[in-house]
Copies of this chain bind each other. A is one copy, B any other.
Amino acid sequence: MIQARSIDVFFSAQSFQENDLRNKTVVVIDVLRATSTMVTALMNGARGVIPVGDMGEASKISQNLDSENHLLCGEKDGVKIEGYDLGNSPLEYTREHVEGKTLIFNTTNGTKAVKKSMGASNVMIGAFLNLTAVSRYLESSQNDVILLCAGWKGRLALEDTLLAGAIIYKLYGGSLPDTAPDGAKVAFGLFEKYRDDIESVILQSNHAVRLADIVENNDVSYCCKIDLCDIVPVLTDGIIS
* Interface positions of A (Cβ within 8 A of B): 10-12, 14-16, 154-158, 161, 178-179, 181-183, 185-186, 189-190, 192-194, 201, 204-207
Closest CB-CB distance, A46 to chain B, in whole Å?
Answer: 30
Q: Which of B154, B189, B207 contacts A16 (CB 8 A)?
A: B154
How many copies of this kind of chain does the complex include?
A: 2
Q: Which of B154, B182, B190 contacts A186 (CB 8 A)?
A: B190
Kindly state the separation between the CA atoms of A224 and B11 in the bound complex, as whole angstroms. Answer: 25
Q: Which of B15, B156, B179 contacts A183 (CB 8 A)?
A: B156
On whether the beta carbons of A15 and B155 are closer than 8 Å, the reply is: yes
Kindly state the separation between the CA atoms of A69 and B186 in the bound complex, as whole angstroms. Answer: 43
On whether the beta carbons of B154 and A182 are closer than 8 Å, the reply is: no
Closest CB-CB distance, A24 to chain B, in whole Å?
Answer: 15
Q: Which of B10, B161, B183, B192 contacts A193 (CB 8 A)?
A: B192
Q: Which of B181, B186, B205, B207 contacts A161 (CB 8 A)?
A: B186
Kindly state the separation between the CA atoms of A38 and B194 in the bound complex, as whole angstroms. Answer: 36
Kindly state the separation between the CA atoms of A182 and B157 in the bound complex, as whole angstroms. Answer: 6
22 contacts between A and B (CB under 8 A): A11-B11, A11-B156, A12-B15, A14-B14, A14-B15, A15-B154, A15-B155, A15-B156, A16-B154, A155-B182, A156-B182, A156-B183, A158-B182, A158-B185, A158-B186, A161-B182, A182-B206, A186-B186, A186-B190, A189-B194, A190-B190, A192-B193
Kindly state the separation between the CA atoms of A131 and B198 in the bound complex, as whole angstroms. Answer: 31
Kindly state the separation between the CA atoms of A158 and B185 in the bound complex, as whole angstroms. Answer: 8
Q: Known contacts A15-B12, A154-B16; decide if A206 and B181 are in contact (CB<8 Å).
A: yes
Closest CB-CB distance, A45 to chain B, in whole Å?
Answer: 34
Q: Which residues of B are found within 8 Å of A10, using beta-carbon distances?
A: 155
Q: Which residues of B are found within 8 Å of A206, using beta-carbon distances?
A: 181-182
Q: Which residues of B are found within 8 Å of A201, using beta-carbon distances?
A: 185
Q: Which residue of B lies closest to A187 (CB)?
A: B186
